[in-house]
Amino acid sequence: MDLPHGRIVVFRGPSGSGKSSLALDVLHAESRRRLLEVLRVPGTGARTLPSVPVDRIAGLPPTIAVAPDDTVRADRSLSEFTDLGTILRSVFAQRGMLLDPQTHQPLEAWNTARVVEALAQLPEGSRLTIGAPLRPFDSPERGLNELRRSGFVRVRLGSRITRLDELERLPAGVAVELIVDRIKWSPTRQDRLTEAVDTAWTAGGGRVRVELGGTDRTSREFGRLRKSADGTVWPKATPDHFDRSRPEGRCQACTGEGCASCDNTGRSDLARHTHLHGHTIETVYALSLTALSRWLYAHPDLPDRLRTMVDSFVALGLGSLTPAQSQKSLGRGEWRRAALGRAIHLAEPPNLLILDEPLSGLSTEQVTSVLRVLQQVNEQGSSILVIEHRPEILAIAHQVFDFGPGSGPDGGRVTESSTLSQADGWARPVSRSGASEPTWTACHPRAATSLSLCANIWTVLTGPSGAGSTSLAVHALAAHFAGRVLVEGCQVTGPEPRLIEPTHLAGTGNARSCVATAAGVWTHLRTLLTSTRAARVRGLGAEAFTFNRATGWCPECEGRGELAQRFGPLPPILTPCPTCGGSRFRPDIDDVRWKGHSPAQLLGLNVEAARVLFAANPRLSPVLEAMAAVGLGYLPLGRSTASLSSGERRRFGIAVALARLKAAARDPRPTLVVLDQPDAGLDDATAAQVAQWLSAAAQGRATLLTVAHHPALLAAADAVVPIPYT
């Protein structure tokens, strides 16, 4: 297939059909391999980096990829995640003005050029006396001898200037200053002034004193070190002084946690007293990105790259966020747009920008903002490859490739299609439910409205990214009944239900997690392996058949089945473990057989084969049946959940929820199922299937609450609750 340079190209097709595999595992992986080959980073073993399994790739530019990362996010601020903080710290270090904490006057570190520039502003004819203040001498006699050997002619003792050859001794307790030169200022004498200041710096140990002649005889002292009124000497600012994660940047009293001495900022004294156009770095971090943009445009001396970066975030609809905002507090759509903004900042033409489902979970207005930014990036010369199904992106694409026709073994084929200008619409009823009084209510400070939820119907929360739909459903209602800590301002009322909340929807970055463990299948398979005669003879319990502990794992790869090879600053490359061959287990553990299957062979079964094998097992059959029903029969049980596509993770979560729902049939409590964006990243056909599965699940004695945006789910739901953005 041929992908054009400098164009917007879209991959679409069913979940699991190979779109992400081609874009990320082939194109992006090959670009990374070639980068290492060019850099030849010493000690990285770049020559052994495996090639991607293709015949030929030609014309591949450097790539920047943004995958739909739904893993648990680090507790970092938006500024750190997007690298905005790196730029702001550098700007404050280079351009900030340190103010004396007591006098609030600027404390400047001078050099020769700045001193000469300041003195050059004086009227021509001004009389200047350039002096070098000296530290007190231990011995007046020795001090006088040193002064005479220095080659200077005059000194200032207190307020009086005298010749050195006229002095018999240095008076005790009197300030001594070498007189370096006396100049009647004119522009023609700038070189002489420069030489005098340079000499004074050296003789005065970093201090220069200039007396202005005239009736008032005023003087001014310049120092290479910044010294405040209380005698504190302040170091030259570096970016680390504005970083709370660095020793130089954190408050020494509380080590960055926040206390009274640092005004609860956790920042160093230097950071708190350094100002830039009326702001400290702490107050800049508290500005919304929209307000930050206005501040940047009000001061043209600030760097263009900072202005451009903030503008891209505002254009993506993130103007209400602040640089200090926690990454964990962002909605999924906000996080993805922030990641997109960071990638755009890094993408310099002719790079290839690879985006996996950048429009997932966004409202129509937010989609429009994202597409406008992507078109601008494309017009600047970058190529853009998007894995997406939204008709809006299809309408602006230069080329669209369909993948399919199915998932897994039925996918992987590519057919080129023409650009689409529009897609079929879906009906969007606000409500078609005859439900009576609400059973549960919930409110969350992030949401502009509260939630009233009726029992035994399917309710969909929808609205712009960041409006608070997930906050209401997951962080308020589900969190309350799951026993998690609620943020201040959350309130939930209603009877306690049997809560079904498949956390697997969010995916995981845990390299040990696989389909079998995430679905709860491996626990039962370990029991079966333990029951075999070979296991009983060897005294092997269930703990021997886990690859998460040393009791059974391969000591080389520690149960991962893979080894990570480091290649300089780039992410590690995974290769099969040479000791266990990828089985994850010790040889004596992998010798155990259940009906002819070793532990590794059981993990090698796909869901469909396992469904047939365990059809009569009441503990294994429900979840395997549900996974096969949602089209995941091709997944190996040992497949890492971190490697699943976004659509596969959604269907996996739905399958787990359906299996748990079936198991809850005998529970007398009301059943509440909470699903967060099960439609994210799905093509229209798969989204329609998901709508059918959820609609059927809601027909029983269960309440289904879903955060969703796809028109197919909105049309199938019993009630749709729009959450406005404030």
- Asked if residues 190 and 137 have their Cβ atoms less than 8 Å apart, the reply is no
Q: Can you spell out the DSSP letters for 139-187?
A: -HHHHHHHHHHTT--EEEETTEEEEGGG-SSPPTT--EEEEEEEEE--G
The structure's pTM equals: 0.60
Amino acid (one-letter) located at 554: C
- Evaluate whether residue 629 is within a structural domain: yes
Cα angle 275-276-278, degrees, rounded to a multiple of 5: 80
The verdict on 400 and 432 lying in the same domain is no
pLDDT value of position 456: 85
pLDDT value of position 431: 40
Q: What is the DSSP letter of 275?
A: E
3-state secondary structure of 688: helix
pLDDT value of position 69: 60
Long-range CB contacts (within 8 A, 24+) of 404-410: 404/13, 404/14, 404/17, 405/14, 405/17, 406/14, 406/17, 406/631, 407/14, 407/15, 407/16, 407/17, 407/631, 407/632, 407/634, 408/16, 408/633, 408/634, 408/635, 409/634, 410/17, 410/634
The verdict on 340 and 439 lying in the same domain is no
Distances in Å between the Cα of 660 and the Cα atoms of 160, 337, 664 are 94, 33, 6
The verdict on 538 and 626 lying in the same domain is yes
- Asked if residues 184 and 127 have their Cβ atoms less than 8 Å apart, the reply is yes
The verdict on 482 and 579 lying in the same domain is no
The verdict on 443 and 458 lying in the same domain is yes
The verdict on 553 and 428 lying in the same domain is no
- Evaluate whether residue 708 is within a structural domain: yes
- What are the backbone dihedrals phi and psi of residue 623, each rounded to the nearest 5 degrees, phi first? -70, -35
Half-sphere exposure of 477 (CA within 13 A, CB side): 35
CATH of the domain at 460: 3.40.50.300
Residue that terminates a domain, selected from 173, 208, 224: 224
Mode of pairing for the β-strands spanning 160-163 and 154-157: antiparallel
Long-range CB contacts (within 8 A, 24+) of 424-429: 424/684, 425/711, 426/710, 426/711, 426/712, 426/714, 426/715, 427/711, 427/715, 428/711, 428/714, 428/715, 428/720, 429/714, 429/715, 429/717, 429/720
Q: How many domains does the chain have?
A: 4
The verdict on 170 and 128 lying in the same domain is yes
Q: Which of 41, 65, 37 is nearest to 51 (CA)?
A: 37
The structure tokens 């073993």 sit at 45
The verdict on 348 and 467 lying in the same domain is no
Distance CA 249, CA 267 (A): 6
Residue that terminates a domain, selected from 384, 417, 450: 417
pLDDT value of position 576: 86
Residue that terminates a domain, selected from 621, 643, 665: 643
Distances in Å between the Cα of 275 and the Cα atoms of 93, 104, 106 are 10, 11, 9
The structure tokens 């090879």 sit at 565
- How deeply is 698 buried, as exposed, middle or buried, from its count of CB atoms within 10 A (0-12, 13-18, 19+)? buried
The verdict on 550 and 661 lying in the same domain is no
Residues of the domain holding 380: 8-23+59-71+330-417
Q: Can you spell out the DSSP letters for 503-561?
A: GGGG----TT-BHHHHTTHHHHHHHHHHTSHHHHHHT--GGGG-SSSTTTB-TTTTTSS
CATH of the domain at 630: 1.20.1580.10
The verdict on 444 and 519 lying in the same domain is no
The verdict on 145 and 213 lying in the same domain is yes
- Evaluate whether residue 685 is within a structural domain: yes
- Evaluate whether residue 340 is within a structural domain: yes
CATH of the domain at 125: 3.30.190.20
Q: What is the 3-state secondary structure (H, E, C) of 298-309?
A: HCCCCCHHHHHH
- How deeply is 391 buried, as exposed, middle or buried, from its count of CB atoms within 10 A (0-12, 13-18, 19+)? middle
The verdict on 401 and 366 lying in the same domain is yes
pLDDT value of position 362: 80
- Evaluate whether residue 34 is within a structural domain: no
Q: Splitting the chain (726 residues) into consecutive groups of 10 residues, what average pLDDT does each group show?
A: 89 85 89 76 52 83 80 72 92 93 86 90 92 82 82 88 86 85 94 94 88 76 81 86 92 90 93 96 96 95 92 92 88 85 84 89 83 89 90 83 78 62 34 58 84 88 82 90 85 90 54 85 94 92 89 90 72 81 89 92 95 93 91 90 82 87 78 87 81 81 87 87 77
Distance CA 426, CA 139 (A): 94
- Evaluate whether residue 193 is within a structural domain: yes
Q: 178 - beta bridge partners? A: 132, 155
Alpha helices by DSSP H, 288-428: 289-298, 304-315, 332-346, 364-379, 391-396
